[in-house]
Amino acid sequence: MKRIYFNILSAFLVLLAGSGALFAGNPDRQGEAGAYELLMIPYARMAGLHAMNTSMTSGAEAMRLNIAGLARINKTEIVLGNAIYLQGTGIKMNALGLSQRVGKSGAFGLSLMALDFGDIRVTTTEQPEGTGVTFSPNFFNLGLGYSHIFENKISVGVLFRLVSESISDVSATGFAIDAGVQYVAGEKENFKFGISLRNIGSRMTFGGEGLSIFTQGTGDTDYDLTFSQRSAGFELPSVLNIGLSYDFYATENHRITVLGNFTANSFSQDQLGAGLEYSMKDLFMLRGGYKYEFGSEDEITAPIYTGLAAGATIQVPLSKENKNVKFGIDYAYRQTRLWNGTHNIGVRINI
């Protein structure tokens, strides 16, 4: 069985090595990708650690970071997430995650995330203050994933995601694949290691009537002509995460987890960070982290987030017979250089 573990982990590492050229952290490629909502964090537990919990994420939230953790649940988990993205911009994130164990070692999951931009005024050159009409872009992505655990040591997973961006007369659709692996070791499963490869997929291109131009004919032509503009395609923001974590138990009821994470972005600078999480009886948790982005010291290229994140969780058991049946509320805050930060709140039900 140990040989099977080794073969699975080796195959995944070879796959990552073969894809290494995609993840150079090349700042010259910034702006060449799109659909960056795929990198947004809609869930509070992830946000409180700046999405650096690649090695220890579990359940429905794992579908937004490392699909391998999807199967690490009791039976059923439902997570609802809402976020005020960059407070002051009027943008919100809404997410739903559902994970269901199948058999002893597998789990299926459904992930849905949508952005709410509010009502945006339609303006023209003749009416720059607005025509009295509003519109709202529709950005959403839907993921279906599966994860399997081998002897509770190694878990692997894969997820297929539909990506859609549209307004009334222009739209783009794409597909992406996520893959991940987690390894757990130690007497109390203290040591955790995780790798995830996300957003590997098709190029997206906008199309629709909104890209058509109506113009008056010239010369002997006195009728209107319609020209269709071709939109340039763009890549998805592929990313590679590698994370480690270790659990320290002061007593049986008190856990302190130390974690580190490296993120290789194919269309921006790489990131490195660390975090802490404290848990009391798995009913109350505090977490925080700091993420540093390489090569972004000046104001122009510096990321919008300062690197600081913090959050908390309160859970209560719903059953005296089964301690795994719980209801929880999560909150997180991430500090930003501009605007007033990003606030996440979530509700979680474990059955």
Query: Can you list the domains of the chain with their CATH numbers?
Result: 2-350 (2.40.160.40)
Nearest to 274 by CA among 294, 260, 257, 287: 260
Nearest to 147 by CA among 182, 199, 122: 182
Distance between CA atoms of residues 289 and 330, nearest Å: 16
Q: pLDDT for 188-215, tens place per residue?
A: 899 999 999 999 998 999 988 888 777 7
Under the banding of pLDDT at 50, 70 and 90, the label for residue 231 is confident
- The overall longest dimension of the chain from CA atoms, in Å, is 90
| Residue range 319-338: mean pLDDT, rounded | 91
By the 8 A CB rule, do 239 and 195 touch?
Answer: no
Nearest to 275 by CA among 255, 263, 293, 257: 257
Under the banding of pLDDT at 50, 70 and 90, the label for residue 317 is very high
- Decide: pTM greater than 0.85: yes
**Which amino acid belongs to residue 80?**
L
Distance between CA atoms of residues 328 and 326, nearest Å: 6
DSSP class of residue 105 equals T
User: Cβ-count burial of 170 within 10 angstroms (0-12 exposed, 13-18 middle, 19+ buried)?
Assistant: middle
Per the DSSP assignment, residues forming a β-bridge with 77 are: 99, 350
**Tokens 């020209």 sit at which residue?**
227
By the 8 A CB rule, do 334 and 341 touch?
Answer: yes
Mean pLDDT of the chain: 88
Distance of CA 42 to the CA centre of its chain: 7
| pLDDT above 70 (res 314) | yes
| Residue range 33-39: mean pLDDT, rounded | 93
Per the DSSP assignment, residues forming a β-bridge with 143 are: 111, 161
CA separation (Å) from 195 to 54, 227, 262?
7, 47, 10
Distance between CA atoms of residues 88 and 26, nearest Å: 30
| Residue range 20-43: mean pLDDT, rounded | 75
By the 8 A CB rule, do 42 and 64 touch?
Answer: yes
| Residue range 14-40: mean pLDDT, rounded | 67
Show the CA angle centred on residue 195, arms to residues 97 and 165, nearest 5°: 45
Percent of the chain with pLDDT over 90: 65
Per the DSSP assignment, residues forming a β-bridge with 324 are: none
| Residue range 108-130: mean pLDDT, rounded | 92
| pLDDT above 80 (res 106) | yes
DSSP class of residue 305 equals E
Distance between CA atoms of residues 302 and 319, nearest Å: 48
